Amino acid sequence: MTDGFNATQPIYLQLLQKVIIQIVRGDLKTGEKLPSVRELGAQFKVNPNTVQRAYAELERLAVVETRRGLGTFVTEDKACLNQLREQLKHEKIDTFIQDMKEMGFNAVEIIAGLSEHLNDKSN
């Protein structure tokens, strides 16, 4: 696949996830303007309709807001962004824990394994 899109999920969803990660990382700040539909389309070589759909979905999630004639902006609502950040964290941790439990690791082993791994990485 081209430009890091996987083959199984709708492209507008993958685009939405890319924007959300940029926001959660702080690459896109609160109140900052998102690229125009055309710019983002050209950057990822996707159809403007697809970008439009991703932006509409982000707006529905209240992560961005569209100001008529001005463009699309990251919401000023910090609480909403924090909530999004927490939500993503929980989702990732959930899948991780599920995988570990499936392989028979208990809570203590998981935590021990995690801190050991993280310590290794930081040294």
Partner 1 sequence: MSMVKFENVSKKYYGELALDNVSFELPGGKVIGLIGPNGSGKSTALKIMAGLIRVNRGKVTVCGKPTCRRISEEVAFLSELDAFYSFFTVQETINFYHEQYSDFDINKAESMLKFMQLKPDARVKDLSKGNRGRLKIVLTLSRRAKLILMDEPLSGLDPMVRESIIKGLVSFIDLEHQTVIMTTHEVSEIEPLLDMVVAIRDGHVLKIEEVDNIREEYNISLVEWMKKVFV
Binding site for partner 1 (CB under 8 A): 1-3, 5, 7-12, 38, 41-42, 44-50, 53
Over its C-alpha atoms, the chain yields an Rg (Å, rounded) of 18
Q: Which is nearer to partner 1, 9 or 95 (CB)?
A: 9
User: What is the closest distance, in whole angstroms, from the C-beta atom of residue 31 to partner 1 in the complex?
Assistant: 27
Q: Which is nearer to partner 1, 59 or 77 (CB)?
A: 59
User: What is the closest distance, in whole angstroms, from the C-beta atom of residue 24 to partner 1 in the complex?
Assistant: 23
Torsion of CA 27, 29, 31, 37, to 10 degrees: 10
Closest CA to 5 of 61, 53, 46, 55: 46
User: What is the closest distance, in whole angstroms, from the C-beta atom of residue 3 to partner 1 in the complex?
Assistant: 7
Closest CA to 31 of 81, 76, 94: 76
Q: Which is nearer to partner 1, 70 or 108 (CB)?
A: 70
Q: Which is nearer to partner 1, 44 or 63 (CB)?
A: 44
User: What is the closest distance, in whole angstroms, from the C-beta atom of residue 48 to partner 1 in the complex?
Assistant: 6
Strands (E), 3-95: 64-67, 71-74
**And the tokens for 26?**
């702080």
